[in-house]
Amino acid sequence: MVDAATLPPQTPPSDSNKARLGGQMTNSAHKRGSAHTIVLGNEKGGSGKTTTAMHVIALLLHEGARVGSMDLDGRQRSLTRYVENRKAWADGAGVNLVMPDHVVLPRSDLDTVSEAQAAERAAFETAFARLSSENDFVVIDCPGTDSFLSRLGHAAADTLITPMNDSFVDFDLLGRVDPQTWKIKGPSVYSEMVWESRKRRVMADGGKIDWIVMRNRLSTLAAKNKRRVENVLDALADRIGFRLAPGFGERVIFREMFPSGLTLLDLRSQGVDTPLSMSHVAARAEVRGLLDELELPTDWRQAKSEAPVERAVGAY
């Protein structure tokens, strides 16, 4: 059993982590339009950020929303490659596939940290201001490491989705667990980074970040480890302020579609002649289940033709 009562609510970052997060708090704010911003983040590679980002993008596009997408992993560029593959596949097949308004931001290679951060901030703010005033949603895919660009992305979030593999290795970035008793000992580096981003957001415009943790690549087996992770996550959710979403199962189809740039949501589009297997149907239901859990605003449907409203969000 897990006992979260030993932790203070919303435990603040340790001093060492504050330093790691970039020192001085600033009250500056990014200018943006009325788009709702969804950020995919954690400090772990291979947990499903890019796969989830592309499926959320496709789902919203199929709903009729205008979607801007931003790839902050300028080194791996996985989301960018996904979008490029999608465009190439659609052009090759002569199919009119729904596409996001996509931007990739490379890391600055300027010599000093302050110069590099200033350049990255300027590039982020320019891209973000445009995407959020011209779209209903902006979906931001972050790298699996702590970086200045990733922090900028987190501070712009309305909704933050953190996919994690069903393992205590991934859980370790959210909270520390006693190996004997399975009790939670405290929050970890990534939770502290989110805590800091939330604080910046509140100071800048009073806005809140709705944080959703989703377990990815779940096995169908009711293993002991799976139940343990579930219990510990339940306990940690209240303590550090996230909601738990059901997540996606371990399915080969999530891996297969990258080269074509297609997602499970496209399989019924005109010109995409892929017969739906049971596994496809189940996986589509999981993606739709995630969207339901996100509780995203729906006012964009009515407000589509209205002029964008400028507002501020937290910034590093």
Ligand X SMILES: Nc1ncnc2c1ncn2[C@@H]1O[C@H](COP(=O)(O)OP(=O)(O)O)[C@@H](O)[C@H]1O
Nearest to 210 by CA among 313, 295, 300, 151: 295
Lateral strand order in the sheet of 101-104: 101-104, 67-71, 137-141, 36-40, 159-165, 210-216, 243-245
Q: What are phi and psi of 41, to 5 degrees?
A: -150, 150
Q: Which of 47, 69, 78, 191 binds Mg ion (CB under 5 A)?
A: 78
Site membership for Mg ion, residue 49 (CB under 5 A)? yes
Is residue 32 within 8 A of residue 132, CB to CB? The reply is yes
Give least dist CB 183 to ligand X, A.
28
* Cβ proximity to ligand X, 34 vs 52, nearer residue: 52
Give least dist CB 44 to Mg ion, A.
10
Site membership for ligand X, residue 248 (CB under 6 A)? yes
Window of 10-18, 56-64, 78-86, 149-157 that interacts with Mg ion by CB under 5 A: 78-86
Q: Which of 254, 264, 265, 267 binds ligand X (CB under 6 A)?
A: 254
Cα–Cα distance between 21 and 30 in angstroms, integer?
Answer: 18
Window of 9-17, 41-49, 255-263, 297-305 that interacts with Mg ion by CB under 5 A: 41-49
Site membership for Mg ion, residue 121 (CB under 5 A)? no
Per-residue tokens: 267? 């399989």
Give least dist CB 147 to ligand X, A.
14
Give least dist CB 50 to Mg ion, A.
3
Per-residue tokens: 109? 């290679």
Q: Which of 37, 47, 50, 197 binds Mg ion (CB under 5 A)?
A: 50
Q: What does the DSSP assignment read for 181-197?
A: T--EEEE-HHHHHHHHH
Beta-strand (E) ranges in 137-208? 137-141, 159-165, 175-177, 184-187
* Cβ proximity to Mg ion, 49 vs 201, nearer residue: 49
Site membership for ligand X, residue 78 (CB under 6 A)? yes
The listed partner (ligand X, Mg ion, none) that binds 51, CB under 5 to 8 Å by sort, is: ligand X
Is residue 193 within 8 A of residue 146, CB to CB? The reply is yes
Is residue 296 within 8 A of residue 124, CB to CB? The reply is no
Give least dist CB 242 to ligand X, A.
17
Cα–Cα distance between 133 and 110 in angstroms, integer?
Answer: 29
Give least dist CB 207 to Mg ion, A.
25
Give least dist CB 112 to ligand X, A.
29
Closest residue (Cβ) to Mg ion? 50
Q: Count of residues binding ligand X (CB under 6 A)?
A: 16
How many other C-beta atoms can be found within 10 angstroms of the C-beta atom of residue 164? 25
Cα angle: 183, vertex 184, 185; to 5 degrees: 110
Cα–Cα distance between 63 and 296 in angstroms, integer?
Answer: 12
Binding site for Mg ion (CB under 5 A): 49-50, 78
Binding site for ligand X (CB under 6 A): 45-51, 78, 144, 216-217, 248, 250-251, 254-255
